[in-house]
Amino acid sequence: MLRLSIFIIAVQSVFCTTGFAQQKTTPQQKEAPIPLSKAIELIEKRFNTRFAFEHNLLEGKTTTAAALEGKTLPEILKNVLYPNNLLFLYVSENAYSIVARDSRFFQQGGASPAAPSLAEDVVIKQLAATHTLRGIVIDEKGAAMPFVSIWVKGTRRGSQTGERGDFTMPNLTTKDTLVFTYLGYNTESVAVNMGGTLTVQLYATNKGTLDEVTVVSNGLQQLPKERATGSFATMSSKDIAKTSSPNIVQRMEGQVPGVKINVLSGDRSFVYSSGNQLGINSGTHTVGNNDYGMSIRGTSTLLGESFPLVVVDGAITDLDISAFNPDDIENITFLKDAAAASIWGVRAANGVIVITTKKGKTSQAPAISFSMNAGVAAKPDLGYLRMMNSAQAVGYEAELVKRGFLTATNINGASYSTASYYPNFAAVLALKLQAGTITQAAYNASVDSLSKIDNTGQILQYLLKPATTQQYNLSVSGGNYNSNYYYSASYSRETPNAKRTIGERLTITLNNSWKLFKVATLTTSLKGAFFKYTNDGTGVNSLYPLTGSGVLLPYMQLVDNNGKSVSYDRINPDFTSTLSTKAFSNWQYNYIDELNNRDDIQKDNNYSANVNLNVPIYKGLSGSVQYSNEKTFSAHNVYYNPNTFYYRYTVNTYTPPTATTANGLGITSGGILSLVNTTVNNYALRGQLAYDKTIRQIHQLNVIAGSEIRQTDMAQSTESLYGYNPSTGISVPVSYTSSAYTSIYGYSTSLGGAPGQGEKIRRYLSYFSNAAYTFKGKYSLSASVRYDDYNNFGLDRKYRATPLWSAGGKWSIAQESFMQKVKWVNSLNLRATYGVNGNLSTSTYPYTAIYLNSTDPVTGLPSAGISSLANPELKWEMTYVTNIGLDYSLFNNRLSGGLDVYRKKGKDLLYSFPINPAYSGSIGGGYLTRNAATMKGNGIDLSINGVLINNKSFTWNMGLTFSYNVNTITDNRFDTSTISSTYTSVYPGSISYIAGYSTDKLLVFRNAGLDANGLTLTYDHLGNKVSATTPLVFSDLKNAGHKVAPYFGGFTNNIRYKQFTLYALMTYQFGGVFLRPSINNYITAYYTMNYSVSGDIAKRWQQSGDETKTNVPGLNGTATQVAYSLARYQNADVNVRSSDYIRLREISLNYEFPAMLVHSVFAKGASVGFSVRNLGLLWRANKDGYDPDFTSYPNGGYSLPAAKSYNFSFKLNF
Amino acid sequence: MRNRLFAVISCLATLALGGCSKYVDIKTQGSLVPGQYQNYRYLLNNTSSFENGAYVGDLAADDIQLPDSSTQMLALNNGGDYYAYWLRSYSWQPQIYTPTGLYYQDYNWYNLYNSITYANVVITEVPNVTDATNDLKSELIAEALVHRADAYMQLVNTYAKPYIAATAATDLGVPLVLKETTTQPLVRASVQDVYNQVISDLTTALPNLPVTQIFNTLPSKPSAFGELARVYLYMNRYDSAAKYADSTLYYRSVLNDLSTLTTISSTTYPIRSKDPEVLISKIAYGGITAYTPYAFRLSDTLLSVLGTKDQRYNLFTTAAATISSTYTGRYFYKDRAMGEGRNIGPSVPEMLLIKAEYYARTGDAANAMVWVNKLRIKRFKTADYVALTATDANDALLKVIQEREREFFCRLLRWWDMRRLKSETRFQQTITRKVLGVTYTLDPNNNRYVFRISDYNIKLNPEIQQNP
C-alpha cells in the first residue's frame, strides 16, 4: 500500500509541475488570452484561496496574464472577473464564490463550513443607509437555514445567513426587495417595509428536482452523483420518512427500481412471524426472510447467500436490518451493478445496501426532534382462508370412515401406538357408529349439533386482537467547528394480531465527529438495539399445521356454551384412562390454557461501534483507519410449566405405560426450561488511502485503495433443564445416555435436549481499490478491483487469487457545448459498466468437515462422522454484470429519472450436483457442492419523477419505478433425463433447476378433469388422458410461468397544498403466476392424522356423476390412487392464477403547523399526520379474490393479508 | 503532527497487510478441528461408516426361494419402485436400479465406497496429524486399510468376474480410489489389480494392528489375517488361505457352543460386536431382513442340506408364521432374533472351513473332516451330533462346501461360493426361478453372476465400463 501512496504522490507532483510551468510567462505573452479557469487556478495557488462556481461558468472566458499582476486578491479578482461579467462574493476566509453578474444562483459546494457566526456583507457598492433589517430564515420544518443567499433585488448587494439562519442587512430602503435563494428551495421575495426583524420560510422543491441526494456512497467513498458511472439508487431521509414502519425494509417498498420487497406479514414489522432466533449452522441469512422477500435485481445464486449485503456507516453488518432505527438514517444507497458494487468483492453479487446514519451539522445549534407514532389495525379476516364449514368437515370425516381410510384401529385404545392415531370427534362418532357402539340416532344428534358450530368467532375473540404499533423517537444534534454530534433514542412496541405476542425495541445511537489537531477527523458511531420478544401467542398458523395432527376443525370450540375452555383428546382416552394418574399427567390439549401458560421470551442485545480516523496527508490525499465491532447477546428462554401440553406430553412419553408411582424422568415439581444463548462478535479493521483532487478544473480524480481484515464469530449454546423450578432455580438431573429411559411405547429411548455448544469463526482479508476520473465534467471513467481471501475457500491459493473487478464510463451529454442551446435538457448522462461481482456460501468448506456424534450406537464409543468431503477447489461464485444506463433531468428539472438495462451472467455458481459414491460414499447423500453451475439474467430498472405543479402553496410530485427481471439456468447439467419419476408424476414443484428454465418456474400437470371414480385425469404430452397413477415424464408437464413476477414497481404521489401534504404509495406486479391453494392432503391412512381444512374439500367428487360438476378429486380409490389423484389436481394448470395486482399500500396526510404559530411556543417546527396502511388491492387479475402475496394453504400459511391499519403521528422540532 | 499521524496510518495499513496470508489460515469449527488425532480415532469408531456391506448377493444366491406368485412375491411386486431391487436381483435381471426411478442409487456400491471414502480420509489426512505419536498414527491408518481391503473385496466379488488366475489381469474389476478425491477418473482396474491392492492393504496394515480390540467393529491382527485367508480362498490359492487361517486361529479360535441353546437373543448369545467368532464385524446394509415383505425365505435345496436337527436350523431360522400368517416355509431369523444385522465379515468358523477345504483339495479327506467336525460339534445338541466322515477327497470337498452352506446361509458367502465354484464341473448347476409366471435361469456361464454397475453411476462417470 505504501507503494501505491508513493505512486499517487508521484502522479500528483507531475500535475503540479505542469501547473507551475504555466506561471512563467514572458512580457510578450502578457496580453495573450489565457483561459479564465486557468487564471483562477493560478490565483488559488498564489493566495491559497478556494473558489466556488457553477459548472461551466468559466467556460469560454479568458483573461490576460497582465490582469493577474496585482498585489491584493480583490484587485486581481476585479481585473480578472469584472470584464467577464462575473462577480466574486466573499464566503469565508480564503473562500469566494464566483457568480455571473445577472445570476442569482449561489453555489454552495466548496464553501468552507467554517463560516463566521454572522455573515459579512459582501459589499460591492455601498448604498445610502436608511435602516437595518434583521431576521431568520427557516425551512419548512422550522429548522434554521444557514448559508441562504440574500440579495437586494436589482442590485449587486448580497449577504448570507449565519449558521443559526440569522442575517442582518443594513442600509435598506423601503423600496428594496430582499430575495432569498437556496439551492433546492423555492426563491422567496420579501418587500422591505421597515427595519426590525423578519422570519422567512423556504420550502424544499421536492423529490426529483435538486434536493435529491447529490452524493452517492458505495460505503467506502463518497462520489458526486454526476460523476458516478455505476448504477446507484438512493433514498433520502425524506423518502424514508414517508412511511412509518419501524422496520426500514418496509419503507423501501416500491421506492427503488430493481429492488423487490414483498411484505409477507401484514400485522408486524420486526416481530417476525417466522421467529427471531439466529441460527448458527445456516449458510445464509436466517432471520426475517420469510416475513419479507427482498432481492436486488433478482436471483444471482442457487445455493449461496441470496440476501443483499448491508453496509452501515462503512462497515459490513451482520445484524438483522430491523436493528436499525429508520429515523436515524440519513440516506440509503443501493448498489446494483458491478461498477457500483464490485468494490465489495465476494459479497456483492446480490447487490449492496449502503446505509448512512445521521450526523450533526457542523454549524448548528442543538436541535431536538421528537416524534411519536401510534397505529392500530383490525383483526385479520379469517374468511380469506376459505375453509370448509363444520357440516362439511363432519361429512368429510364420515366419508373417510366410509371409504375405510379411518378404521377401527383409530379408536383402538389397547396400546399407545394405536391410541396416538386418535382422530377428531366427528370421525370418532362415525367409527363408533360403524362399530355399533352408538346408535344412528345418537350419531345424528351429535353430528347435527356439531354441524351448527362455527368456531371462527371464538378464534377471533379468544386468540386474536387488533394489532397495534407505537413508536417514540427523540434525537438531539448539533455541532461547531471542532465537533458535531447526533444522538437519538427510540422505542418501538408492536403487538401483532396474536394475543400475547409482543415485540419491543429500544435503539440508541450516538454519532460523534471531532476535528483533531485541526486537520484529522475522528468519527465514532455507537449504536445499541435492544429487543424483547414475547412469543406467547397462538397464531392462526399453529391452529392449522401443515403436517402432523392437532388441526383445529371448524366445529371444535375453544370455549363451550357455558364459557368454560374445552380440552381435546389427542391420545385415545380409552388408553390414557388405563394409566396411573400418579405417574401420568393429563394428555389433553386446551387452546385457552395453552395460551395462558406459555412463557417464551427472547431478549437480544445488539451493540455496534464504528471508529474512523481520517487524516489528510498531502494535497487531496488522505488516509483513514476504521475499526468496527458488532456484538450480539441473545437469550431465548422458553419455560414450559407443568400445565403446558409440551411438558405433560414430554414427561408422559418418557414414562413406561406400566409406571404407577412416578413419571419416568423423576420430575416431581417444576417444568422444562429450554435455553438458547447466542453470542455474536464480529470485527473489521480497515486501512484506506483516498485521493480526491480537481486539477485545473479539468481533471477530477477520486481514488481509494485499502485493505480490510474481518472476522465473524457466532457461538450458540442450547440446553434443556428438566424439573426446573423458576423460584428455586433447581432442576432434576436427567440422563442423556442412549436408551436411558423407557418410553410410553415400552421401548428404551433417549432423552433429547442435551447441552450443546457450537462456535463458528470465519475470517476474511480483502484488498480493494476504486478510481473515478472525470474529464472536463463531461467524461467519467471508473475502475475498481477487489481481492478477497476467505478462510473457507480453496486450500490451493490459485482458487482464491482471482480478483473481482469492474470498469465503467459515463458521458454527461448535457455538458457538451452543442447541448447548451437545448434549454429544456438540464442533464443527460449515458453510463456503461461491466464487471464481476462475487458471492459465497458460508456453509461449504474446502477441507473435510468432521462432526461429532454423541456416542456410537453399536459400541458406545465416542464417534464422529464426515459432513462434507474436502473440496479443495472451492471458490467463490462469479456474476458478470453489464449495465447500460441513462439519467435525465428535463424541463427545468420538472421531469427526471433514469433507465438501466442490465445483463448478468453467473459462473462457478455453487450447486449440489450428484456425485458418484465412489468418491464420496454416503457423505453429502450422493451430492457434492461444487462451483459448477451457470445462469444468466437480464432486466430493466426505470424511474420517472415528475413535478407536475410547483409553486409556493401547491406542489405535486409523481414518482414511478418500474423493474423487469428474469433469469435462465444455462447449465446443461441440469437436464431433464435424471429427474426422478416421482417428481414428474407427483411433485412437479420439487423439480429443481433445469437448463433453459428460470429459477422460479412453475411446473404443473395438464388437468383433464375426473374419471368416473372421481380420480384426477391428466393429459400427457400426446394429449391422452391418463390416470392418476400412470407415471408421467417431464415432457408431460407444463411450464405455467414465473412464480416471481418479472414486472414490478411502485407509484407515488406527493401533493402539498400550503401546510397539508398528501402522500400515496401504490405497488404493482405483473407477469407472474401462483398456484391457487387447495386441499393440502387427504387422510389416506389411519396413521396420518393431518386434516386439511380447505373449503375445496366440500367441492370434492362424492358420487358418480359429480365428475361433470367438479374437478376436485374424491376419496374413491386406494390410498395411493387418492393421494396421487389429489397431487395431480393440486399441482395442475387449473389452479394456476395470474399474480398481477395493483396495491394501494399507504395513504397519508400530514399537516405542518405554520411557522409563526410554532415559533410562538419556542419550537422550530411541528406536524401531525394521519395515515392508512394496507388499503388492499386496487386491482387483481385473479377472479377468486386472492392477494397473490398471501397464497399458501390454509394449513401452514405464513400470514393472512394485513388488515387496514390506521396510524397517527406527531413531530416536534426544537 | 501530520507526519506522526501519517506514520500511525502507515503502521496500521502495514499491519493490515502484513501477515495477511496467515490471517485467513484458520479453520472454521465443524465440531472437531481436522488435524487432531482424536478426529480420526472418532471417525474410525463410527461403526456405521465402515460396517455396511453388500446385500444384493444374498438375493441372487440359491439359499433363498419364493414360491411363484406367493403373497410375499406379490407384495414385493406391488411395492413398486421401492422393492423393485429385490425381485430384480432375485430373478437375475441386468438392470436392478432404474436411473430415473425413486431408487436409482445402488446402495451396495454406495455403502462399500462409503467405507473406502472414510478409510481414504483417514489414510490421507492422518499423516498430517501433529498431536500423536507415529505408532498411534500408524495404527489408525492400519485400521483404515483393513476396512478398505474388505470393501474392495466385497466390491470385486459383486461387480467383477470371479477370480481366475489366467484372466484376472484382463478381467474388469472396480475403480480403485485410494486417496481423498472428487475428480479422479473412475476407470475400472483389473480384477488382479484389485486383489493385489486388497492384499497389499492388509499386509501393510498387519504390523501396526493391535492383537485385540474391545469390539469386533475395530480391526485387529486376526481381522487382517482372517481377511487374507478369505481373499486367498477366493483366489483359489488354498495353501496361502490355510496359512492365513492358521495365523488367524492363533489369535482367535473360540466358537460359540450352540448345543445347549434353545433360543437365541441378545442375552443368551453374543452380539456381533462382542461375538468371539466374528473377526471383523461387517453387515449387509439394510439391517434386519426378517420382516414382510423382504424376509429371506429359505430354499428347498438349503433346507435339505441343513436338515432339521442342526441347531443352526433351530436357532437361526423360523417358521413362516413368525414373519406373516400368510407366508409359508422357513425363514432366516438370526438377525431378528438378535435384534441386529447379520455379520458378513470373516469369522472363526470360516477359518476352520478354509482349513478343511485346503485339506480336501490337497487330498487329505481325514484332516478335512477333522476341521469340519471341530465346527459341527458346536452346532448340534450333544444327542444329535454325528461326526462327518468322507469316503474320499472329492466327497470331503463336497461335505466342506455343504458345511459352508449350512454355516453361512443368507450371509453373502453362498453367492461368492456359487461364483467361484461354477468353473468346477462337479459344482456346476443351472438354477431356475419363477417370478409371476416367467421362468428365469442362471446357468454357469451366465453374465448375471456379475452384477451390472448401476446406470446412474455410469451416467455420472461414463468412463466406467459396464459389464455385459
Would the pLDDT of A14 be above 60? no
Partner A contacted by B460 (CB < 8 A): yes
pLDDT, tens digit (0-9, with 9 covering 90-100), for B382-426: 999 999 999 999 999 999 999 999 999 999 999 999 999 999 999
| SS3 of A1003-1031 | EEEEEEEECCCCCEEEECCCCCEECCCCC
CA dihedral in degrees (A650, A656, A661, A663; nearest 10)?
-20
Give the three cell numbers for residue A671.
Answer: 417444568
Q: How far is CA A1166 from CA A291, A361, A371, A819, B285, in A?
A: 34, 20, 9, 44, 76
Q: Are A104 and A89 in contact (CB under 8 A)?
A: no
Domain count, chain B: 1
Residues of B in contact with A346 (CB under 8 A): none
Contact at CB, A765 and B116, closer than 8 angstroms: no
Write the burial class of residue A982 (CB in 10 Å: 0-12 exposed, 13-18 middle, 19+ buried). Answer: middle
Range A139-167 average pLDDT: 73
* Residue A1194 confidence (pLDDT): 64
DSSP A50: E
**Residue A20 three-state SS:** helix
Range A1150-1167 average pLDDT: 82
Write the burial class of residue A43 (CB in 10 Å: 0-12 exposed, 13-18 middle, 19+ buried). Answer: buried
Nearest CB among A617, A706, A864 relative to B32 is that of: A864
pLDDT, tens digit (0-9, with 9 covering 90-100), for B51-88: 999 999 999 999 999 999 999 999 998 877 788 899 99
Range A352-374 average pLDDT: 86
Contact at CB, A864 and B100, closer than 8 angstroms: no
Would the pLDDT of A888 be above 80? yes
Partner A contacted by B23 (CB < 8 A): yes
* Residue A108 confidence (pLDDT): 36
Residues of A in contact with B456 (CB under 8 A): 914, 978
A923/chain B closest Cα distance in angstroms: 7
Percent of chain A with pLDDT over 90: 43
Half-sphere exposure of A11 (CA within 13 A, CB side): 16
Residues of A in contact with B175 (CB under 8 A): 918
Range A1144-1173 average pLDDT: 86
pLDDT, tens digit (0-9, with 9 covering 90-100), for B134-177: 999 999 999 999 999 999 999 999 999 999 999 999 999 999 99
Q: Are B40 and B132 in contact (CB under 8 A)?
A: no
Give the integer Cα–Cα distance in Å for A451 and A649.
Answer: 30
Please name the residues in contact with B403: beta carbons below 8 A apart, sequence gap of 6 or more: B353, B356, B372, B375, B376, B388
Q: How far is CA A910 from CA A280, A904, A932, A935, B244, in A?
A: 20, 16, 6, 11, 49
CA dihedral in degrees (A1184, A1188, A1193, A1196; nearest 10)?
-150
Q: Are A192 and A172 in contact (CB under 8 A)?
A: yes
CA angle B222, B224, B230 (to 5 degrees): 100
B279-290 residues labelled b (16+ CB within 10 A) or e (exposed): bbbbbbbeebbb
Would the pLDDT of A461 be above 70? yes
Range A143-164 average pLDDT: 73
Range A812-835 average pLDDT: 87
> Is residue B287 assigned to a domain?
no
* Residue B29 confidence (pLDDT): 59
Residues of A in contact with B273 (CB under 8 A): 858-859
Higher pLDDT residue, A1113 or A740?
A1113
Q: Taking all residues of chain B, what is their mean pLDDT, rounded to a whole number?
A: 91
Contact at CB, B28 and A762, closer than 8 angstroms: yes
* Residue B20 confidence (pLDDT): 54
Model-level pTM greater than 0.80? no
Q: What DSSP element (H or E) covers A99? A: strand A95-100
* Residue B278 confidence (pLDDT): 97
Minimal Cα distance from A794: which residue of B? Answer: B25
* Residue B378 confidence (pLDDT): 96
* Residue A875 confidence (pLDDT): 81
Least confident of A932-936, B9-13, B170-174: B9-13
Nearest CB among A765, A915, A920 relative to B20 is that of: A765
Contact at CB, A863 and B42, closer than 8 angstroms: yes
Range A676-684 average pLDDT: 94
pLDDT, tens digit (0-9, with 9 covering 90-100), for A714-732: 999 999 999 999 888 889 9
Biggest alpha carbon–alpha carbon distance for chain A: 126
Would the pLDDT of A164 be above 60? yes
Minimal Cα distance from A925: which residue of B? Answer: B110
Please name the residues in contact with A874: beta carbons below 8 A apart, sequence gap of 6 or more: A792, A793, A794, A799, A844, A845, A846, A929, A931
Range B332-348 average pLDDT: 94
Contact at CB, A857 and B42, closer than 8 angstroms: no
* Residue A54 confidence (pLDDT): 64
Contact at CB, A861 and B215, closer than 8 angstroms: yes
Minimal Cα distance from A715: which residue of B? Answer: B29
> Is residue B398 assigned to a domain?
yes
Contact at CB, A862 and B30, closer than 8 angstroms: no
A508/chain B closest Cα distance in angstroms: 30
Contact at CB, A852 and B31, closer than 8 angstroms: yes
> Is residue B213 assigned to a domain?
yes
Give the integer Cα–Cα distance in Å for A759 and A280.
Answer: 8
Q: Are B23 and A709 in contact (CB under 8 A)?
A: yes
Q: Which of residues 356-415 of B touch A (CB under 8 A)?
A: none
* Residue A9 confidence (pLDDT): 37
**Residue B9 three-state SS:** helix
Can you spell out the DSSP letters for A280-311?
SS-SS--SSTTTEEEEESS---SSS--SPEEE
Q: How confident is the model at residue A120 (pLDDT cuts 50, 70, 90)?
A: very low
* Residue A682 confidence (pLDDT): 94
B411/chain A closest Cα distance in angstroms: 20
Q: Which of A858, A871, A928, A985 to mutate to test the interface with B (most CBs of B within 10 A)?
A: A858
CA angle B266, B271, B273 (to 5 degrees): 155
What's the CATH code of the domain at B355? 1.25.40.390
Partner A contacted by B116 (CB < 8 A): yes
Give the integer Cα–Cα distance in Å for A99 and A120.
Answer: 17
Partner A contacted by B100 (CB < 8 A): yes
Would the pLDDT of A127 be above 60? no
Give the integer Cα–Cα distance in Å for A970 and A85.
Answer: 63
Give the integer Cα–Cα distance in Å for A167 and A119.
Answer: 7
B58/chain A closest Cα distance in angstroms: 22
Q: Are B97 and B455 in contact (CB under 8 A)?
A: yes
Higher pLDDT residue, B452 or B128?
B452
pLDDT, tens digit (0-9, with 9 covering 90-100), for B262-279: 999 888 999 999 999 999
> Is residue B297 assigned to a domain?
no
Nearest CB among A617, A916, A979 relative to B2 is that of: A617
A863/chain B closest Cα distance in angstroms: 4
* Residue A1106 confidence (pLDDT): 92
Can you spell out the DSSP letters for B12-54?
HHHHHHTTHHHHT-----SSS-TTSHHHHHHHHH-HHHHHEE-
> Is residue B127 assigned to a domain?
yes
Q: Fill in the amino acid letter for A367.
A: A
Range A113-125 average pLDDT: 34
A295/chain B closest Cα distance in angstroms: 28
Partner A contacted by B3 (CB < 8 A): no
Give the integer Cα–Cα distance in Å for B377 and B310.
Answer: 10
Least confident of A625-634, A758-767, B232-241: A758-767
Helix/strand number for chain B, H first, E second: 21, 8
Name which of A572, A582, A588, A568 is nearest A414 in CA terms: A572
Would the pLDDT of A16 be above 60? no
Percent of chain B with pLDDT over 90: 81
Contact at CB, B111 and A520, closer than 8 angstroms: no
Q: How far is CA B420 from CA A1030, B199, B413, B423, in A?
A: 43, 18, 10, 7
Would the pLDDT of B10 be above 60? no
> Is residue B444 assigned to a domain?
yes
Give the integer Cα–Cα distance in Å for B121 and B55.
Answer: 25
Sheet of A158-160: strands edge to edge?
A158-160, A149-152, A177-181, A188-191
Residues of A in contact with B99 (CB under 8 A): 977-978
Q: Fill in the amino acid letter for B315.
A: L
Q: How far is CA A803 from CA A711, A769, A838, A875, B294, in A?
A: 20, 11, 10, 12, 57
Range B293-302 average pLDDT: 95
> Is residue B361 assigned to a domain?
yes
- Selection from A415-424, B189-198, B290-299 with the highest mean pLDDT: B189-198
Contact at CB, A847 and B105, closer than 8 angstroms: no
Range B219-247 average pLDDT: 97
Nearest CB among B12, B186, B459 relative to A918 is that of: B186
Q: Are A947 and A893 in contact (CB under 8 A)?
A: yes
Least confident of A793-797, A901-905, B6-10, B113-117: B6-10
Residues of A in contact with B115 (CB under 8 A): 921
Please name the residues in contact with A622: beta carbons below 8 A apart, sequence gap of 6 or more: A614, A615, A616, A689, A690, A691, A692
Q: How confident is the model at residue A88 (pLDDT cuts 50, 70, 90)?
A: confident
Would the pLDDT of A1112 be above 50? yes
Give the three cell numbers for residue A123.
Answer: 459589499
* Residue A953 confidence (pLDDT): 87
Write the burial class of residue A734 (CB in 10 Å: 0-12 exposed, 13-18 middle, 19+ buried). Answer: buried
Q: Are A886 and A910 in contact (CB under 8 A)?
A: no
What are the strands, taking DSSP E only, across A1025-1164?
1025-1026, 1038-1042, 1047-1057, 1060-1070, 1073-1075, 1136-1138, 1141-1152
Nearest CB among B5, B28, B100 relative to A845 is that of: B28
Please name the residues in contact with A885: beta carbons below 8 A apart, sequence gap of 6 or more: A231, A337, A829, A830, A831, A832, A833, A898, A899, A900, A901
The verdict on whether omega for the bond into residue A74 sits within 30 degrees of 0, i.e. cis, is no
Partner A contacted by B78 (CB < 8 A): no
> Is residue B251 assigned to a domain?
yes
Rounded to 10 deg, the angle between the B81-90 and B71-78 helix axes is 130
* Residue A1196 confidence (pLDDT): 57
Domain of B90, in residue numbers: 4-263+344-460
Contact at CB, B9 and A617, closer than 8 angstroms: yes
Name which of B388, B399, B398, B405 is nearest B424 in CA terms: B398
Q: Taking all residues of chain A, what is their mean pLDDT, rounded to a whole number?
A: 84
Higher pLDDT residue, A886 or A540?
A886
A787/chain B closest Cα distance in angstroms: 12
Would the pLDDT of A399 be above 70? yes
Can you spell out the DSSP letters for B148-195?
HHHHHHHHHHHHSPPP-TTTTTTSEEEE---SS-S-S--PEEEHHHHH
Q: How confident is the model at residue B12 (pLDDT cuts 50, 70, 90)?
A: low
Minimal Cα distance from B111: which residue of A? Answer: A921
Give the integer Cα–Cα distance in Å for A1038 and A1133.
Answer: 8
Contact at CB, B28 and A792, closer than 8 angstroms: yes
- Bridge partners (DSSP) of residue A33 are A64
Give the three cell numbers for residue B191.
Answer: 480384477
Contact at CB, A977 and B100, closer than 8 angstroms: yes
Please name the residues in contact with A322: beta carbons below 8 A apart, sequence gap of 6 or more: A246, A247, A248, A249, A269, A270, A272, A288, A505
Percent of chain A with pLDDT over 70: 90
Give the integer Cα–Cα distance in Å for A496 and A380.
Answer: 10
